[in-house]
Amino acid sequence: MGNYRKVLNIKTASEGDIVDLTGHLREAVAASRLKDGLACVFVGHSTAGLFTIENEEGLQKDMRDALQRLFPKEMDYDHHRRWGDGNGHSHIRSSFLGTSMTVPFHDGTLDLGTWQQVVLMELDNRGRDRKVIVQILGD
């Protein structure tokens, strides 16, 4: 059993920005020299999210629209009143999407579906520098 760790520094442009991490994960699995195991991905920020999607412009827009319908930016959040930073919706969205995920791999290849990519979504009300940790465990 072995492990490998890689830290990705990702700069997002703006709220709603979706960054494909799949290539970074493939590179990390290859660099680990492990053949079978789990790639754990974690973003240590409470206003970002990780998930899988078919990463194309239509679904990116659909995702942003769905989050707006479910967790409207304009709603009056207690977090806004307490801190005045206007990002209460960002924290709620992150909590629902999640900040970590695990992808299995076999023979050095991620077990993702044909149209499935791992993405980071910027949920804060402006672009940010994000640190994404990739921890790989396996044989």
Mapped onto helix, strand or coil, the DSSP state of residue 41 is: strand
pLDDT attached to residue 63: 98
CATH topology of domain 2-138: Jelly Rolls (2.60.120)
If you compute the radius of gyration of the chain from its CA atoms, what whole number of angstroms results?
Answer: 16
CB 41 within 8 A of CB 97: no
Q: Mean pLDDT in each 10-residue stretch from start to end of the chain (139 residues)?
A: 97 98 98 98 98 97 98 93 92 98 98 97 97 98
Q: What is the pTM of this model?
A: 0.95
Residue spans of the domains in the chain: they are: 2-138
Displacement of CA 136 from its chain's centroid (Å): 16
pLDDT attached to residue 56: 97
